Amino acid sequence: MDLDELDVTSAESKATYAEIKEYVLKENGLKVSNLYISQVKRKCGLEVGENYNLAKSKDAKQPNCPEEKERAIVDALKHFWMM
């Protein structure tokens, strides 16, 4: 087998938010929001869309991802080889 065949393109190595949510629910029984996923991705230094889940105004407060859900999201990111 040629090593080039094993190369994963960047598109293949990225899971969608829906796939991450599904994995977290299946493996941990937790429902996570897109907001929590984007917060964890930012915290881990992963690419997130430029304006993805930004507050509508400067004074708006956003909930922070609970530790249990953060661990589950990090596990999912590792499962999908995103970190």
* Domain definitions of the chain by residue range: 14-48+61-83
pTM for this model (two decimals): 0.77
Picking from 5, 23, 3, 15, the residue whose alpha carbon sits closest to that of residue 83 is 15
Which helix (H) or strand (E) segment holds residue 23: the answer is helix 17-28
CB 72 within 8 A of CB 28: yes
Structure tokens of 33? 């929001």
Please list the pLDDT of the chain residue by residue as tens digits (83 residues).
444 544 444 445 689 999 999 999 999 999 999 999 999 999 999 988 766 556 667 777 888 999 999 999 999 999 999 98
**Count of alpha carbons within 13 Å of 33, Cβ hemisphere only?**
10
First vs last C-alpha separation in the chain? 26
